[in-house]
Structure 1
Amino acid sequence: MKSSIFNFLGEFSSTLEELALRIEALLWEQPQAAMTQARLFGETLVSMIFEQENMSEVYPLKQVEKINRLFKNDVIHDEIYKKLEYIRKNGNIASHQVTEIDQEVAKQAHRALFELSVWYAEVYVSYTFTAPTYQLPSRNNQDHNNLKQWMDDYIKQTQQRLAEIEGQLEQLKQEKQQHSVVKEKKGSKVPKDLNSVRSTERSVPLERFQSSFEKINFKMRNLTKKAAEFEHEEYKEFVYLLDRATPTVAIHPSLVEQTKMLVEVPNKQVKSTALRRFPKKEEEGKFKSNFGYTYTFQTKSELEVLLVRVVDAIKSRSIYIGENG
C-alpha cells in the first residue's frame, strides 16, 4: 500500500483510508475529482460520529443538517464545524460545476481532512494517539498506478450501476405493461355481482342492461364514467343508467313530480353533473348540480317493468297536458 499520512485511518476505518488515498492520487492532476471524493469522506466521517454518539435519525438527514445537529449538541466545536462545512460546500461545488475547481481549494481540503481525521482518532479511538506530521503528497511521487487502479475500479462500478439501472428500468416496464393489461381486462369485464365490487372499480353496467333499454325503445345517446344516457325514440324523454353498487336508473324530476305512477315506487333524489339533460337544483339562490330521482332494480325484468312505467308516466303526462293545454 502507498505510504501516506492517512495510513493511520486503516486502524479503524478502511473506507476512510481508501477515500483519503484516492484524494491524494487525484489531488494534483484532477483537483475537482479529488473534491468529490473529499465530500464522500466528510459524509462518511459524520456518519461515524453519529454512530459513536448514538444519535439516531428519525428520518434521513442531509449532510448540512447532520453537521448542524452535531454542533448544536456540543459534539463538535467551532473549528471542526468550519472544516466539515468547508468540505461539504466545496465538495458540492465540485460535483455540480463544469469548470475545474481551483487547485488551492483542493489543497486546503486535504489539510482539513487530515485535521478532522486526527481529531476523530484522538476523541473516539485513543486519547494517546500521536498524529503524524502533516504534509502534502509529493507531486513528483504521484502513484499513477494507484490512480489508474482507482479509475478502473470507478469505471467498473459505474458500469455495474448502469447495468443495475437498466435492469430496474426493464422490470418497471414489464410491471407497467402487466398493470396495463390487467387494467384493460378489468375495464372490459362486466362484474357478476356489483355489490362485491369496490366503488373505485365500478363502471356503468351497460353490457348487462342495454338490451332491456332498447327493448322498451330507449336508445343510448351518451356514455360517461358516471352514467349512460338513454332517450326514448318516440317521446324524446331521457333516463340515465348510473354507476352504482346497486343497478340504478335516474328519472327526470318533473316526470316523477307530475305523475302518481312513479311517486308510488320507492325513489331517492340525487344530484350529479352526469344528469346533463335534467334541470339544475336551486340552493341558496344558486343553481347547483343537475338532479333527478333514482330507482333501483336487480334484474333485467325489473328494469323493463320500471321502464314501461316510465313510458306510461310520459303518456299520462302528455294526455294531461293535452287536455289542459
Structure 2
Amino acid sequence: MQRAGANAVKAMIDDVIVEKLDVEKIFSSSKRTFRIADLGCSVGPNTFVAMQNITDAVQLKYQSQGFASQMPEFQVFFNDHASNDFNTLFASLPPERPYFATAVPGSFHGRLLPNFSLDFVYSSYALQCLSKVPEELLNKNSAAWNKGRVHYASAPDEVAQAFTTQFAKDKTAFLDCRAKELVVGGLMVLMPGIPNGIPHSSSLTGGIFDFLGQCLMVDTFNLPVYFASPKEMTRLLERNECFSIERMEITLPYARADGLIVQACAMHLRAGMEGIISKHFGVEIIDELFDPFCKKEEEFISMLESKYNEGDQLFIVLKRI
C-alpha cells in the first residue's frame, strides 16, 4: 500500500519538478550537490524507488534547461528514528544508485541538518506520526480518556480534539525546522491525510484503525497518529509563513477492496505500527493481533467498502520562500 501511494503521485512530483524547480538559480549559485531528504524512510525498498524517481526527474530538468554538462552530484539523507534498522536499509541500497547515501537518525519534529542544506524534502506515510500520545487520553479522570479504543476515529470529540492539538504542535515544530533546513526555492513533498469535511470515523484510514482497535480492546494504549485535512494543513502553513503551497489535492491510490487489499492493509499496518505495538505489549502478540485481518476477510472488506470515498491521500507540494 505504501508503494501504491507513492506510485499514485509519481507523475505529480515529476510535474512539480519540471514546473517549480528553479535549476537556473541553483546553477548560478555554483552549488554542485543536490541534496534530498526522505523523512521517515523506514528500511526500504520503497524509499529507494522514491529517491530514484526524484533524482531522475531532477536530471531531466537539468537536461531540458541546457545544463546537462553541469549535472550536480546527488546526496540523499535517509532519516528515521534512531531505533530504525539502518543496517538493513544500507545493506539493501541499490548498487547502481545515482546518489551518495547518508543516514540521519532522529525525530523529524526537531532539527536534523544545518541551515539551508536541503534542496528537496520528501515524506511518505510518516507525516501522520505524532511525537507522543496526548497525555489526557490515559487519564481516567479526563473527558478525553479513550477507554476501549486505540484511535480517535470513533471516539468522543474530546479525544479527537486532543489529537488535533498534538498534531498542530508537532507539525508547527516540523515546519519551523524544515524552513531552516531548506534552501530558498527548495521543494517539499508531503502526504498523507483525509479530505475536507469527512468525519474521521467515515475515512478509510479511520476505519482501518478502528478495526485494529477491535482486535486489541484495551484502555491503556493509543496509536500516536493523526491524519489532517487540507484545511488543517493550510491553516498551519499560513501561520508558519515560510512556504508557498504549490499544490494540494486528494488522491485515490488504492484499488477497490478485495482479498488482496485485506492482506495489503494488514501488512501496511504491521510495517508502520509493529514497533510501537510490540514496545507496549511485547513482540509475542504481533502475529495473533494481525491474524484477524485475514481471518475476518468479509467483515473487513465490508468495512472498507463502506468507507471508500473519492480520495484518501493528501498530496502537498511546498516551496520555501
Q: TM-score range by the shorter chain?
A: under 0.3
Q: Relative to total residues, which structure has the larger strand share, 1 or 2?
A: 2
The two structures have a TM-score, normalised by structure 1, of 0.20
Q: Relative to total residues, which structure has the larger helix share, 1 or 2?
A: 1
The two structures have a TM-score, normalised by structure 2, of 0.20
